[in-house]
Amino acid sequence: MKKQGKLIVHTGSMFSGKTTSLWRELYRMKIANYKIAAFKPSVDNRDDERKIVSHDKLEIDAIKISDLNEIVDYAENHELDAIGIDEVQFFPNDPSEVIDIFTKLMKKRITIVVSGLDMDFKTRPFEIIKEIMPIADELTKHHAICASCGEDAWASYRKSSDDSRIQIGSKDKYEPLCRECYTKKMSEREKTKNQIAMEDLNQ
């Protein structure tokens, strides 16, 4: 019996295996002769333009889109059993619109597999993930390993001082940290920032 009209969500910090789980779900469906399509946000300029690539280099063909409504249009013209969406938090759609889009697709008995970050580098929830979690049929919170102490990671710590909410990157820009290590590093960063500000004032 096929999974039809379901919403499957994989979320957590960076390096926690979200995209690998998305790949695994779609790969199993492909073996079971599901008609599938995968999508990635146009702002994601990492790796291959036409593939979703996990941190452990598993890959699947994907279509780059800038708006989730493009999936509805695609589904109108293609026979589909399931779709995969990577890095869903990067899409500009309002969360209520996302729920409407997903509902339309599920009414067509299309199963949706989503992966995305639950929080940004300041641990603020990404609105899309926050709103779709309650309507998911299956929900998995993944954990990476803390880069400082080896405990389960809780957040994605940004190594640079760039304060913009969206900054695409991998291990060059982020590291997974547990709550304690994250809080400690953010406190140290704030202390350094205040010291620099005081030095600038005294010049």
**Which residues does the annotation mark as catalytic?**
87
Q: Which residue has the tokens 């379901």?
A: 6
Alpha-carbon distances of 91 from 12, 84, 95, 151, 182, rounded to whole Å: 17, 14, 10, 31, 26
Per the rule left: phi > 0, alpha: psi between -120 and 50, beta: everything else, 47 is left
C-alpha dihedral sign at 162, 163, 167, 172:
positive
- Continuous segment of H or E residues that includes residue 157: strand 155-158
- Continuous segment of H or E residues that includes residue 52: strand 51-53
C-alpha dihedral sign at 58, 99, 49, 12:
negative
Beta-bridged to residue 147, according to DSSP, are: none
Q: Which one-letter DSSP state was computed for residue 88?
A: G
Beta-bridged to residue 15, according to DSSP, are: none
Q: Which one-letter DSSP state was computed for residue 134?
A: G
Judge residue 72's burial from the number of C-beta atoms within 10 Å of its C-beta, 0-12 exposed, 13-18 middle, 19 or more buried. middle
